Structure 1
């Protein structure tokens, strides 16, 4: 397979050489025509100049002086009478002049005309200017120029164009080689980067500057590499966390099951170990259930069936369901809803969100504190805020609390409760409702969870 730099180089070469050839040919033809036209005009102007002199002094000495002047020039002059008979001529132009003077058949204007223009095939180009004396034609001044000088001039012009063309070709090749490398270098780097990505190596670093399409492509590939690297790292951490989460309760289950199987153990003690085994089995079941929910959310198979719900009525039912648990721990639960707003939500899923958030507030609050959840309406948005006066969340942990299996309590104690997946599921469900959830917290003072939903 040919390299892209070679293909681009060939493409640029063909395009540029094509354009240069057209421009050079156009310029060459234009210059040749202009130079020939200029020579003919100069020859005609020279004939008109002699004609003007003769019209002033039409006598033998003046005519001989004109002929003598042209004898020392590259041009030749022929002077005829009004009938075309040659009276005077310079050098060896007589034979050529006879053919030209006898072939004239039309009247010549006073400003003169060019008689012979075919410089490529004829031996001479010529002009004629009439001599008017007393408003009558007295004779004619014919001017001749050998076309050999014109051919020499054109040859030199071709030579200059050839040298310029070769020089331009070399410069074009150098420029194309440079430009093709400049253009293809970032493409090659991107190709190498994508090959690394395809092999699972996400440590790609592309130094991209600028804002053109290539730069944007490079930035996109770099963003993709960063995202894949983050996902790879997150996957490793997730698998390690899941392994830990499963290993711990399974260790308890196995350990206590071994003890419970002993024949010499008392029945009361056996019941105690069986109870622990049951609790750990429930913990595993909850973990697997949460993982299954997250898998459904990731695969977009998590069904959200919205219905129109009166928000105050919905919050009142949540309050009644959670109040006994708060009363047992002697924590005040306050519910505030001053609007009769209706929102479109999945009743079952959103109840799961509220119970999860209130359960977290309950776990991390002390006796005698207050937990408040309220509904606030703001133009096109509805906010549901759960505030507690609990232990709070450290500032460095706050950005990560919605990550999967992230725990503020790094000890992962069995009695700490939870699987570390609850808030991740909450976030996914809320986002499936096209809403957002944010957290505000001050360590030692409490936490606020803020759900924002778009009011239809």
Structure 2
């Protein structure tokens, strides 16, 4: 099984090889066409020059010797064999034509006919026996006083051009090899930089799945791979946090259920076995009832949280008086407050109307006030204030209790998180209350914030839209 690094390396190398091969072929074809075109143009220019010389010879401004010498010079400069055909008798004698040109090309007679008709022809023709090479030929009419009097044919061996092309091929080959080697090095570095973070994510995911502790993967990129690494780190942190909360839930629920179930079982067995006398049974039945109510609260909290997170908790909004609701909560908790000698100060008007789910808002206020009483030392103070603004209503509950450490404030609304780690009845159970009220406030499009200082006290403020 190939790793992603090997796959990237092989894929990039194949792509690079294909690109270099394609560019090499295109460059070779372009250079070849350009080389032949320049050779043809050179022969055409030479043919035009020879035609000019023949015109001068016809006008007796150039001697036969000078004409021959000039044509020889042109042939040497262009590396071409020059054949001048005067008269049309060659067109009627193909064998004579082949004997003069020493080129066995059946189409030569046809080409000469086209030249005598005034056309200029360029072509690569068959093997010339005397030159032992394929040749590039150019033919053009001898035009004197607008009359075609013959043909000028120039041949140059293709072998000369092929020699140049061979050098070009070698150059292209070595340039391609050098480019490929440099490309392989760059591809190696690039493939490693791309695959390494992905492999780290893969290995970390496997370790995470097996339950091992995984550290964050270093962030060294700002592209999509960097986003992947960042997302994985955030997911890993969330999973580790969830796993921690799951363990705390198991520990908390186990502890919370074990004690009341053990008490209920013990008292029921005591009553059934007659260990507890009949005159004391009512007392122990009352204890059993309280433990049962505690178990019911735990079950209700778990069910409420599940419904809230699934979005299945109905919100039935009605208009009600928030001030009366707060007074009702204070009355419900009056026994706990009196037992600890806590004073509650209220600051709000007699009637403040709010459109919300009354039962759920009561649950929020009851939980916050109950927490304030629980974490306030005997003889302490609690203040409840309600502020009505143009579009919102704020409910603030302050206490002079033990407070919360600053580093713990960001986590107090998380499920199963508790500032007080001992999970007994008095210290608040399994830590679902604040998570539940946070979800209730969110469902009402409100917000809840907390300000606290250790050993000074805490203030929870719930802000809800009026409508």
Q: Give the TM-score of the pair, scaled to structure 1.
A: 0.76
Q: Which residue matches 1:374?
A: 386
Query: Which of 231, 236, 240 in structure 1 is aligned with 2:242?
Result: 231
CA offset digits 1:117-148 (Å, max 9, x no partner): 12566643333455566666676544321233
Q: Which residue matches 1:298?
A: 306
- Looking at structure 2, the residues matched to 67 and 293 of structure 1 have their Cα atoms a distance apart, in angstroms, of 112
Aligned-pair distance for 1:52? 3.3
Aligned-pair distance for 1:37? 0.8
Query: Which of 62, 65, 70 in structure 2 is aligned with 1:66?
Result: 70
Are 2:81 and 1:76 equivalent residues in the alignment? yes
- Looking at structure 1, the residues matched to 115 and 74 of structure 2 have their Cα atoms a distance apart, in angstroms, of 25
Q: Which residue matches 2:40?
A: 40
- Alignment CA distance shift 1:277-1:205 (3 Å): farther
> What secondary structure is seen at the aligned counterpart in 1 of 2:205?
helix
Q: Is the 8 A contact 2:403 2:453 kept in 1?
A: yes
Aligned Cα root-mean-square deviation (Å): 4.5
- Alignment CA distance shift 1:425-1:371 (3 Å): same
- Looking at structure 1, the residues matched to 151 and 415 of structure 2 have their Cα atoms a distance apart, in angstroms, of 108
Q: Which residue matches 2:319?
A: 310
Aligned-pair distance for 1:309? 1.8
- Looking at structure 1, the residues matched to 3 and 276 of structure 2 have their Cα atoms a distance apart, in angstroms, of 78
- Looking at structure 2, the residues matched to 115 and 406 of structure 1 have their Cα atoms a distance apart, in angstroms, of 95
> What secondary structure is seen at the aligned counterpart in 1 of 2:124?
coil
Are 2:206 and 1:195 equivalent residues in the alignment? yes
Q: Give the TM-score of the pair, scaled to structure 2.
A: 0.75
- Looking at structure 2, the residues matched to 30 and 136 of structure 1 have their Cα atoms a distance apart, in angstroms, of 38
Q: How does 1:269-348 map to 2 (within 5 A)?
A: 275=283, 278-279=286-287, 282-283=290-291, 285-287=293-295, 289-298=297-306, 300=309, 303-311=312-320, 313-320=321-328, 322-323=330-331, 325-326=333-334, 328=338, 329=341, 331-334=343-346, 336-337=348-349, 341-345=353-357, 347-348=358-359
Unaligned runs of 5+ in 2: 92-97, 129-133
Query: Which of 251, 255, 263 in structure 2 is aligned with 1:240?
Result: 251
Q: Is the 8 A contact 2:267 2:288 kept in 1?
A: no
Unaligned runs of 5+ in 1: 87-91
- Looking at structure 1, the residues matched to 428 and 15 of structure 2 have their Cα atoms a distance apart, in angstroms, of 72
Q: Is the 8 A contact 2:263 2:288 kept in 1?
A: yes
Of residues 99-108 and 315-324 in structure 1, the stretch that sits farther from structure 2 once superposed is 99-108
Aligned-pair distance for 1:40? 0.8
- Alignment CA distance shift 1:388-1:158 (3 Å): closer
Q: Is the 8 A contact 1:434 1:454 kept in 2?
A: yes
> What secondary structure is seen at the aligned counterpart in 2 of 1:294?
helix
CA offset digits 1:153-174 (Å, max 9, x no partner): 3344344444444555555555
Q: Which residue matches 1:89?
A: none
Query: Which of 374, 396, 407 in structure 2 is aligned with 1:386?
Result: 396
- Looking at structure 2, the residues matched to 455 and 172 of structure 1 have their Cα atoms a distance apart, in angstroms, of 67
Q: Which residue matches 1:146?
A: 157
Of residues 76-85 and 52-61 in structure 1, the stretch that sits farther from structure 2 once superposed is 76-85
Q: Which residue matches 1:360?
A: 371
Aligned residue-pair number: 442
